[in-house]
């Protein structure tokens, strides 16, 4: 099934994060095309990400690769998402 091949969009976040909420709103129309995985950088097991991104959230990785931070660049996102879909 195609659902197993959906790209994974990882959102590095913490509570509260108004920009993260905003970003999720922007991505809402695309949500059927990817799997959203949220990583709370304040959890002890995510301290590596906390050190890296604490001043930059939200940060997005697409299939494990850095994609964007602070705000959603919808053109870039759509472009990368389409590329991944074409590979499958």
What local confidence, expressed as pLDDT, does residue 4 receive?
A: 66
Task: Supply the DSSP symbol for 7.
Answer: P
In order of start, what are the domains of the chain with their CATH numbers? Answer: 8-87 (3.40.30.10)
pLDDT of residue 5 exceeding 90 = no
What local confidence, expressed as pLDDT, does residue 73 receive?
A: 96
Measured CA distances, 36 to 23, 51, 69 (Å): 12, 22, 15
Q: Which two tokens stand for residue 64?
A: 């494990």
Residue with tokens 């990785």: 61
pTM here is 0.92
């Amino acid at each position: 099934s195609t659902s197993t091949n959906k790209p994974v969009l990882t959102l590095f976040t913490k509570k509260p994060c108004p920009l993260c909420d905003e970003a999720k709103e922007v991505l809402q129309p695309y949500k059927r095309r990817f799997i959203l995985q949220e990583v709370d950088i304040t959890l002890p097991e995510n301290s590596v990400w906390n050190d890296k991104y604490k001043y930059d959230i939200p940060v997005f990785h697409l299939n494990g690769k850095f994609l964007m931070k602070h705000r959603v660049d919808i053109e870039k996102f759509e472009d990368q998402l389409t590329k991944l879909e074409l590979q499958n």
